[in-house]
Structure 1
Protein backbone atom coordinates (compact mmCIF):
# COMPACT_ATOMS: atom_id res chain seq x y z
CA UNK A 1 0.00 0.00 0.00
CA UNK A 2 1.36 3.42 -0.92
CA UNK A 3 1.35 6.38 1.45
CA UNK A 4 -1.45 7.97 -0.62
CA UNK A 5 -3.54 4.82 -0.36
CA UNK A 6 -2.90 4.67 3.38
CA UNK A 7 -3.87 8.34 3.68
CA UNK A 8 -7.13 7.52 1.87
CA UNK A 9 -7.77 4.60 4.23
CA UNK A 10 -7.13 6.74 7.32
CA UNK A 11 -9.45 9.44 5.92
CA UNK A 12 -12.25 6.89 5.55
CA UNK A 13 -11.61 5.49 9.04
CA UNK A 14 -11.78 9.00 10.52
CA UNK A 15 -15.01 9.68 8.61
CA UNK A 16 -16.65 6.61 10.14
CA UNK A 17 -15.26 7.54 13.56
CA UNK A 18 -16.90 10.95 13.30
CA UNK A 19 -20.09 9.48 11.85
CA UNK A 20 -20.33 7.19 14.88
CA UNK A 21 -20.95 10.30 17.02
CA UNK A 22 -24.05 11.02 14.95
CA UNK A 23 -25.19 7.42 15.27
CA UNK A 24 -24.84 7.58 19.07
CA UNK A 25 -26.93 10.75 19.12
CA UNK A 26 -29.62 9.32 16.85
CA UNK A 27 -29.89 6.05 18.77
CA UNK A 28 -30.08 7.85 22.12
CA UNK A 29 -32.76 10.22 20.90
CA UNK A 30 -34.90 7.63 19.14
CA UNK A 31 -34.67 4.97 21.84
CA UNK A 32 -35.70 7.44 24.55
CA UNK A 33 -38.01 9.52 22.30
CA UNK A 34 -36.21 12.62 23.58
CA UNK A 35 -36.01 15.40 21.00
CA UNK A 36 -35.46 19.09 21.67
CA UNK A 37 -36.76 20.27 18.33
CA UNK A 38 -40.56 20.21 17.96
CA UNK A 39 -40.49 18.89 14.39
CA UNK A 40 -38.31 15.92 15.40
CA UNK A 41 -40.50 15.18 18.41
CA UNK A 42 -43.57 15.23 16.19
CA UNK A 43 -41.96 13.18 13.41
CA UNK A 44 -40.79 10.45 15.80
CA UNK A 45 -44.00 10.37 17.84
CA UNK A 46 -42.59 11.84 21.04
CA UNK A 47 -45.03 13.46 23.46
CA UNK A 48 -43.40 16.83 22.85
CA UNK A 49 -40.05 18.55 22.66
CA UNK A 50 -37.69 17.90 25.56
CA UNK A 51 -36.33 20.85 27.52
CA UNK A 52 -32.74 19.67 27.07
CA UNK A 53 -30.60 17.08 25.28
CA UNK A 54 -29.73 13.80 26.95
CA UNK A 55 -26.27 13.72 28.59
CA UNK A 56 -24.94 11.16 26.08
CA UNK A 57 -26.15 13.35 23.20
CA UNK A 58 -24.31 16.31 24.71
CA UNK A 59 -21.14 14.23 25.08
CA UNK A 60 -21.35 13.00 21.48
CA UNK A 61 -21.84 16.59 20.30
CA UNK A 62 -18.82 17.73 22.31
CA UNK A 63 -16.71 14.90 20.89
CA UNK A 64 -17.87 15.92 17.40
CA UNK A 65 -16.82 19.53 18.02
CA UNK A 66 -13.44 18.34 19.26
CA UNK A 67 -13.05 16.26 16.10
CA UNK A 68 -13.83 19.33 14.02
CA UNK A 69 -11.01 21.16 15.78
CA UNK A 70 -8.47 18.39 15.17
CA UNK A 71 -9.23 16.07 12.27
CA UNK A 72 -9.40 18.60 9.41
CA UNK A 73 -6.01 20.12 10.23
CA UNK A 74 -4.54 16.62 10.56
CA UNK A 75 -5.89 15.71 7.12
CA UNK A 76 -4.33 18.82 5.59
CA UNK A 77 -1.00 18.21 7.29
CA UNK A 78 -1.05 14.53 6.36
CA UNK A 79 -1.75 15.31 2.70
CA UNK A 80 1.10 17.83 2.59
CA UNK A 81 3.34 15.31 4.37
CA UNK A 82 2.65 12.66 1.73
CA UNK A 83 2.77 15.08 -1.20
CA UNK A 84 6.18 16.41 -0.15
CA UNK A 85 7.52 12.88 0.12
CA UNK A 86 8.47 13.13 3.75
CA UNK A 87 9.67 9.93 5.45
CA UNK A 88 7.37 7.27 3.90
CA UNK A 89 7.47 4.99 6.93
CA UNK A 90 6.33 7.89 9.06
CA UNK A 91 3.05 8.12 7.19
CA UNK A 92 2.09 4.62 8.32
CA UNK A 93 3.25 5.18 11.90
CA UNK A 94 2.00 8.73 12.45
CA UNK A 95 -1.33 8.36 10.67
CA UNK A 96 -2.10 5.16 12.58
CA UNK A 97 -1.26 6.72 15.93
CA UNK A 98 -3.43 9.74 15.15
CA UNK A 99 -6.44 7.65 14.07
CA UNK A 100 -6.20 5.32 17.07
CA UNK A 101 -5.79 8.30 19.42
CA UNK A 102 -8.89 10.00 18.00
CA UNK A 103 -10.95 6.79 18.26
CA UNK A 104 -9.85 6.25 21.86
CA UNK A 105 -10.43 9.93 22.63
CA UNK A 106 -14.06 9.58 21.56
CA UNK A 107 -14.56 6.37 23.55
CA UNK A 108 -13.18 7.85 26.76
CA UNK A 109 -15.00 11.15 26.14
CA UNK A 110 -18.32 9.31 25.93
CA UNK A 111 -17.52 7.54 29.20
CA UNK A 112 -16.23 10.65 30.96
CA UNK A 113 -12.81 9.19 31.67
CA UNK A 114 -10.14 11.66 32.65
CA UNK A 115 -7.17 11.87 32.43
CA UNK A 116 -7.44 9.51 29.43
CA UNK A 117 -9.40 11.98 27.35
CA UNK A 118 -6.59 14.50 27.68
CA UNK A 119 -3.91 11.84 27.12
CA UNK A 120 -5.43 10.71 23.80
CA UNK A 121 -6.04 14.31 22.75
CA UNK A 122 -2.37 14.95 23.50
CA UNK A 123 -1.25 12.03 21.32
CA UNK A 124 -3.22 13.45 18.39
CA UNK A 125 -1.84 16.97 18.80
CA UNK A 126 1.68 15.59 19.19
CA UNK A 127 1.35 13.79 15.87
CA UNK A 128 0.23 17.04 14.20
CA UNK A 129 3.30 18.81 15.61
CA UNK A 130 5.55 15.99 14.37
CA UNK A 131 4.02 16.28 10.90
CA UNK A 132 4.66 20.03 10.99
CA UNK A 133 8.33 19.44 11.85
CA UNK A 134 8.74 17.01 8.95
CA UNK A 135 7.01 19.44 6.59
CA UNK A 136 9.18 22.34 7.69
CA UNK A 137 12.33 20.27 7.24
CA UNK A 138 11.17 19.32 3.74
CA UNK A 139 10.46 22.87 2.62
CA UNK A 140 13.26 24.82 4.33
Structure 2
Protein backbone atom coordinates (compact mmCIF):
# COMPACT_ATOMS: atom_id res chain seq x y z
CA UNK A 1 0.00 0.00 0.00
CA UNK A 2 1.17 3.47 -0.79
CA UNK A 3 1.51 6.23 1.78
CA UNK A 4 -1.43 8.30 0.42
CA UNK A 5 -3.60 5.20 0.54
CA UNK A 6 -2.63 4.54 4.17
CA UNK A 7 -3.41 8.14 5.07
CA UNK A 8 -6.72 8.03 3.20
CA UNK A 9 -7.67 4.85 5.07
CA UNK A 10 -6.73 6.48 8.38
CA UNK A 11 -8.78 9.59 7.54
CA UNK A 12 -11.79 7.47 6.56
CA UNK A 13 -11.49 5.60 9.85
CA UNK A 14 -11.27 8.83 11.87
CA UNK A 15 -14.30 10.27 10.06
CA UNK A 16 -16.24 7.05 10.66
CA UNK A 17 -15.41 7.16 14.37
CA UNK A 18 -16.39 10.85 14.50
CA UNK A 19 -19.76 10.17 12.88
CA UNK A 20 -20.35 7.18 15.15
CA UNK A 21 -19.52 9.46 18.05
CA UNK A 22 -22.20 11.94 16.96
CA UNK A 23 -24.76 9.12 16.99
CA UNK A 24 -23.66 8.03 20.46
CA UNK A 25 -23.77 11.66 21.63
CA UNK A 26 -27.40 11.93 20.55
CA UNK A 27 -28.29 8.63 22.18
CA UNK A 28 -26.54 9.62 25.40
CA UNK A 29 -28.60 12.80 25.78
CA UNK A 30 -31.86 11.09 24.85
CA UNK A 31 -31.27 8.30 27.38
CA UNK A 32 -29.86 10.53 30.10
CA UNK A 33 -32.93 12.77 30.01
CA UNK A 34 -35.36 10.04 28.90
CA UNK A 35 -36.49 12.52 26.24
CA UNK A 36 -37.67 11.11 22.92
CA UNK A 37 -39.64 12.61 20.06
CA UNK A 38 -40.70 9.28 18.56
CA UNK A 39 -43.79 7.96 20.36
CA UNK A 40 -42.57 4.35 20.22
CA UNK A 41 -39.24 5.28 21.83
CA UNK A 42 -40.92 7.35 24.53
CA UNK A 43 -43.46 4.58 25.12
CA UNK A 44 -40.71 2.01 25.55
CA UNK A 45 -39.39 4.11 28.46
CA UNK A 46 -42.95 4.82 29.67
CA UNK A 47 -42.61 8.52 28.96
CA UNK A 48 -44.67 10.94 26.88
CA UNK A 49 -43.11 11.91 23.55
CA UNK A 50 -41.44 15.32 23.47
CA UNK A 51 -42.69 17.87 20.95
CA UNK A 52 -39.11 18.78 20.03
CA UNK A 53 -35.61 17.41 20.41
CA UNK A 54 -33.28 18.42 23.20
CA UNK A 55 -30.87 21.16 22.10
CA UNK A 56 -27.74 18.94 22.21
CA UNK A 57 -29.53 16.27 20.16
CA UNK A 58 -30.71 18.85 17.65
CA UNK A 59 -27.20 20.34 17.29
CA UNK A 60 -25.72 16.87 16.82
CA UNK A 61 -28.33 16.05 14.17
CA UNK A 62 -27.42 19.22 12.29
CA UNK A 63 -23.71 18.40 12.50
CA UNK A 64 -24.51 14.89 11.21
CA UNK A 65 -26.53 16.32 8.30
CA UNK A 66 -23.64 18.62 7.42
CA UNK A 67 -21.29 15.62 7.47
CA UNK A 68 -23.59 13.84 5.01
CA UNK A 69 -23.22 16.77 2.63
CA UNK A 70 -19.41 16.83 2.80
CA UNK A 71 -17.82 13.54 3.82
CA UNK A 72 -19.14 11.47 0.87
CA UNK A 73 -17.56 14.05 -1.46
CA UNK A 74 -14.27 13.49 0.35
CA UNK A 75 -14.58 9.72 -0.11
CA UNK A 76 -15.19 10.10 -3.84
CA UNK A 77 -12.64 12.83 -4.55
CA UNK A 78 -10.03 11.15 -2.35
CA UNK A 79 -10.57 7.82 -4.07
CA UNK A 80 -10.24 9.50 -7.46
CA UNK A 81 -7.00 11.20 -6.38
CA UNK A 82 -5.61 7.81 -5.42
CA UNK A 83 -6.84 6.09 -8.59
CA UNK A 84 -5.48 8.86 -10.81
CA UNK A 85 -2.16 8.98 -8.93
CA UNK A 86 -2.47 12.66 -8.05
CA UNK A 87 0.61 14.29 -6.48
CA UNK A 88 1.16 12.44 -3.20
CA UNK A 89 2.26 15.34 -1.02
CA UNK A 90 -0.63 17.63 -1.99
CA UNK A 91 -3.11 14.77 -1.71
CA UNK A 92 -1.82 13.77 1.73
CA UNK A 93 -2.02 17.33 3.06
CA UNK A 94 -5.56 17.77 1.77
CA UNK A 95 -6.63 14.42 3.27
CA UNK A 96 -5.24 15.35 6.67
CA UNK A 97 -6.50 18.93 6.68
CA UNK A 98 -9.98 17.89 5.60
CA UNK A 99 -10.18 15.35 8.40
CA UNK A 100 -9.00 17.83 11.04
CA UNK A 101 -11.40 20.46 9.68
CA UNK A 102 -14.38 18.09 9.89
CA UNK A 103 -13.53 17.03 13.44
CA UNK A 104 -13.17 20.67 14.44
CA UNK A 105 -16.43 21.56 12.67
CA UNK A 106 -18.29 18.95 14.71
CA UNK A 107 -16.73 20.06 17.99
CA UNK A 108 -17.48 23.71 17.25
CA UNK A 109 -21.04 22.86 16.18
CA UNK A 110 -21.73 20.88 19.35
CA UNK A 111 -20.25 23.68 21.45
CA UNK A 112 -22.04 26.50 19.59
CA UNK A 113 -18.74 28.20 18.76
CA UNK A 114 -18.82 30.81 16.05
CA UNK A 115 -16.93 31.92 14.01
CA UNK A 116 -14.83 28.79 14.54
CA UNK A 117 -17.51 26.46 13.16
CA UNK A 118 -17.68 28.46 9.94
CA UNK A 119 -13.89 28.62 9.68
CA UNK A 120 -13.63 24.84 10.11
CA UNK A 121 -16.37 24.33 7.50
CA UNK A 122 -14.59 26.68 5.10
CA UNK A 123 -11.26 24.88 5.59
CA UNK A 124 -12.93 21.55 4.81
CA UNK A 125 -14.60 23.02 1.73
CA UNK A 126 -11.26 24.43 0.56
CA UNK A 127 -9.77 20.94 0.89
CA UNK A 128 -12.58 19.47 -1.22
CA UNK A 129 -11.97 22.12 -3.87
CA UNK A 130 -8.27 21.30 -3.74
CA UNK A 131 -8.96 17.59 -4.19
CA UNK A 132 -11.28 18.40 -7.10
CA UNK A 133 -8.50 20.51 -8.61
CA UNK A 134 -6.07 17.60 -8.30
CA UNK A 135 -8.56 15.29 -10.00
CA UNK A 136 -9.08 17.83 -12.77
CA UNK A 137 -5.33 18.30 -13.20
CA UNK A 138 -4.83 14.54 -13.41
CA UNK A 139 -7.54 14.26 -16.07
CA UNK A 140 -6.38 17.26 -18.10
CA UNK A 141 -2.61 17.40 -17.77
CA UNK A 142 -1.00 20.68 -18.77
CA UNK A 143 1.83 20.09 -21.19
Q: TM-score range by the shorter chain?
A: over 0.9
Q: CA deviation at 1:98?
A: 0.3
Q: TM-score, normalised by structure 2?
A: 0.93
Contact 1:24 / 1:60 at 8 angstroms: preserved in 2? Answer: yes
- Which stretches in structure 2 are left out of the alignment for 5+ residues? none
Superposed CA deviations along residues 26-68 of structure 1, whole A, max 9, x for unmatched, are 000000000111111122x242111110001000000000000
Residue 58 of structure 2 is matched in structure 1 by 58
Cα distance in 1 for residues equivalent to 2:84 and 2:3:
14
CA contact (8 A) 1:28 1:57 kept: yes
SS in 2 for 1:78: helix
Structure-1 residue corresponding to 2:26: 25
Q: Which moved more, 1:2-11 or 1:24-33?
A: 2-11
Q: Number of matched residues?
A: 139
Moved over 4 A (4+): none
What is the Cα-based RMSD across aligned positions, in Å?
A: 1.1
Secondary structure of residue in 2 paired with 1:13: helix
Residue range with higher mean Cα deviation, 114-123 or 86-95: 86-95
Deviation (angstroms), 1:2: 2.1
Q: Contact 1:56 / 1:110 at 8 angstroms: preserved in 2?
A: yes
Specify the alignment match of 2:134 in structure 1: 134
Q: Which residue of 2 aligns with 1:119?
A: 119
The equivalent residue for 2:36 is 35
Unaligned runs of 5+ in 1: none
- Secondary structure (helix, strand or coil) at the match of 1:77 reads helix
Give the equivalent residue in structure 2 for 1:76: 76
Which residue does the alignment assign to 2:95?
Answer: 95
Mapped to 2, the partners of 1:56 and 1:11 lie a distance apart of 25
SS of the aligned residue for 1:85 comes to coil
